[in-house]
Amino acid sequence: MQLRRGRMCTACSPLAPGSTVDLGAQYITRSPQRAGPHARFYDELLALGLLEPLTSPIEGMVVKEGECNFVAPQGVSSIIKHYLKESGADVCFGHRVTRVDLRDDRWEVSTETGRPERFDLVVLTMPAPRILQLQGDVANLISECQRRQLESVSYSSRYALGLFYEAGTKIDVPWAGQYITSNPCIRFISIDNKKRNIESPDVGPSLVVHTTVPFGVTHMERSTEDVQELILQQLETVLPGLPRPAAAKCQRWRHSQVRGIGHRHLQEGPEERLIS
């Protein structure tokens, strides 16, 4: 099972529901510029136990002055689930939007399956290339200037591999996460349950691997099964003797992180964090 929340995505082991792994964002960074304006959100999430300070060691992580890092003990998707519940919205997953039309001053949204539905307001949060693929009136409402701007957005592409282990398995490393700079395939590794401070003798550990951008771009069109084997081979060179996982989940991130807009390249931060 996978709780789909975009980059705030948490996967569950098919063999042990209590074993989870964050496939997207690994931790949330509160910048000093946003600490005041976002204080009430952090206070609420900390009080509810949905966030807690990151205290486990992450080797190679760069922390700037004034920044604070947090993890989600129940998985990063629990934050999205909380706000969706608070909103009172009727949420439907697995419905890919194909067109948006204007009908009698309301927005009619069509999906690959199911009948069209009408709404007062539509908010699009998908990557720019997905917006440009939409059919219907929305395509005509995008000005030529806006279209050029959307077309100019470039993204990094990566894979994430989540590994689930049987209860009692030991992964003997001194860190909870590590940035890798010397491997062509692997950029980041995290012992996910250790990072989130939820180690338990009754639930096996979980591990996540994020690939480098060049590896992701090179292998983006290959099957996830083939890519999974390639990552596992490279993981053996980084962590020799790692136990064999009981289950695995390979996630393709075709549009992972905005890298630039037009000729302006953004300063690329760690893929593993969300900055707020």
Task: Compute the distance between CA of residue 4 and CA of residue 98 in angstroms, rounded to an integer.
Answer: 19
pLDDT bin (cut points 50, 70, 90) of residue 266 is low
* Cβ within 8 Å of residue 44, ≥6 positions away: none
Task: Compute the distance between CA of residue 100 and CA of residue 246 in angstroms, rounded to an integer.
Answer: 43
Question: What is the H or E stretch that residue 2 is in?
Answer: strand 2-3
Give mean pLDDT, residues 74-92.
91
CA–CA distances in Å: residue 273 to residues 54, 210, 232: 12, 12, 23
Which of 3-7, 16-20, 166-170, 220-224 has the least mean pLDDT?
3-7
Give mean pLDDT, residues 169-195.
95
Enumerate the H helices of 113-249 as residue ranges.
Answer: 128-132, 137-141, 144-151, 192-195, 213-218, 224-238
**pLDDT value of residue 2:** 44
Output the pTM of the full model.
0.87
Residue 267 has pLDDT above 80, yes or no: no
Q: Which of 215, 208, 203, 218 is nearest to 251 (CA)?
A: 208
